Structure 1
Amino acid sequence: MLIVLSGLPASGKSTVARAVVARTRAVPLRLDLVEQAVVASGSEQHPVGPVGYYVLYALADDLLRQGFSVIADAVNAHPGIRDHWRSVAESAGVPVLEVEVRCSDPVAHQRRAEERTIDIAGLPRMTWSHIEQIDYQPWDREVLRIDTAVVGAEQAAELVAERMGVGA
C-alpha cells in the first residue's frame, strides 16, 4: 500500500510517519531528505522544485513493486502532485491511502515551527512566515484527516494502521 502524508511543514507529518513505520514497518520516503541530498550534490539550491518529488515517485514505485508498503512524507500542496501519487499506486497495482496531517491550533503550529529540531544536516529551518505563505490547496476528494492539535502521533499511527488493515 502507498500511504501519502500531506500537510504544511511543522504540522506533524514526519512525527506521524515515524509512528506509522514503527507500527507497520512500512518504508518511509521523506521529501526533505531527498531535497537536501540534491542540494548537497551541488546541482540545485533550496527550494529544489519538482526534482525531489520525481525522485520519491520513482523510489516509491520500485519499492511498491517489490511488495513493500511505502509512506510518502511531503507537503503535497497541489492536486497535481496528489494525483501523481495516485498514478504511482495504480501503476504498481497497490491501494493508496491519502492522509492530510494538520495542526488546527495556529499558536501550537507556529510554536512547533519555531522550536522543532532539524534532523537533516544542512536543511534550512522554515520560518513561520514562509509556512503561512505556502499555497496549500484543499483536497478535492475524501482523505483521512488527522489533526495533531488533538491527536498524538501514536493515535494517528493507529488510525492509519486501521485504514491499512494492519492489527495493533
Structure 2
Amino acid sequence: MPPLLIVLGGLPATGKTTVAAELARRSGFSFLRVDTIEHAIVRSTPLAHPLGPAGYVVAQGVAGDLLRTGVSVVAECVNPLALTRDAWRDTGFAAGARVLEAEIVCSDPAEHRRRAESRDTGIPGHVPPTWAAITAREYEPWTRDRLVVDTARLPVDEAVAVIEAAARSRR
C-alpha cells in the first residue's frame, strides 16, 4: 500500500501540534513541524521572520523524500492559503502517496485565546504569535473537502482517533 501524507493545518493555538505529535507517536509516521523548520532557519541564517514560503518548501521537500521511500508522514503547519494546501497535496501525489487533509479548529474563542496566551511551543527561543496576531492572520476559507477536527469538543485522544479512522478509509 502506498504511504500516507496527513497534513494537519489550522490557526495557531488550536491544538495542531499536540494532536499531530500524538498521531505520529501512535501511528509510527514521521512528524514534520513547519514551526520547528522555520525557527531553525531563522536561528541559522541572517533571514528575518517572516520567512515567506521557506519553511513550507523545506518541509514539503523532506516529506516528498520520505514518502518516496515508503515512509508515511504527519505534517503540521498553519496551511493558511489555497496555494499552501495545493502544494502539500501535490507533494503527496507526486510521491505516489495517499493524502489526508485535516483542519484543526478550536470553536470556543475563549478557550482558543486562553491557549494562545498560555502555551509553550516546545521550541526553545520561539515566540508564538499573540492572540491579536492570530485573529488578524490571513487564513483563506477552504474550498474543498477536508476533515475538520474541533479540539474544543474533542480531547486529544479522541481527535487522534477521528484522524486515524479517516486515514484507514484512505486505503
Normalising by the residue count of structure 1, what TM-score does the alignment of the two structures yield? 0.96
- 1:23·1:161 contact (CA, 8 Å) conserved in 2? no
Which of 95, 119, 132 in structure 2 is aligned with 1:129? 132
Q: Which residue of 1 aligns with 2:120?
A: 117
Q: Which residue of 2 aligns with 1:29?
A: 32
Aligned residues with identical type, % of pairs? 44
Distance 1:79 1:106 in 2: 24
Offset, 1:152: 1.1
Q: Secondary structure at the match of 1:97?
A: strand
Structure 1 residue 73 corresponds to structure 2 residue 53: no
Which of 11, 27, 30 in structure 2 is aligned with 1:8? 11
Distance 1:47 1:155 in 2: 34
User: What is the CA deviation profile of residues 53-76 of structure 1, one whole-angstrom value per residue up to 9, with x for unaligned ones?
Assistant: 000010000000111110110000
Q: Which residue of 2 aligns with 1:47?
A: 50
Q: Which residue of 2 aligns with 1:139?
A: 142
Consecutive unaligned residues of structure 2, counting only runs of 5 or more, are none
Offset, 1:159: 1.0
Q: Secondary structure at the match of 1:5?
A: strand
Offset, 1:43: 3.0
Offset, 1:118: 2.5
Q: Secondary structure at the match of 2:23?
A: helix
Distance 2:107 2:167 in 1: 25
Distance 1:164 1:24 in 2: 10
Consecutive unaligned residues of structure 1, counting only runs of 5 or more, are none
Q: Which amino acid in structure 1 is aligned with residue 22 of structure 2?
A: A
Distance 2:46 2:73 in 1: 27
For these two proteins, the number of residue pairs brought into alignment is 166
Q: Which residue of 2 aligns with 1:98?
A: 101
Offset, 1:153: 1.0
Q: Secondary structure at the match of 1:29?
A: strand
Distance 2:39 2:99 in 1: 26
Q: Which amino acid in structure 2 is aligned with residue 56 of structure 1?
A: A
- 1:5·1:100 contact (CA, 8 Å) conserved in 2? yes
Q: Which residue of 2 aligns with 1:88?
A: 91
Q: Which amino acid in structure 1 is aligned with residue 88 of structure 2?
A: W
Offset, 1:165: 1.5
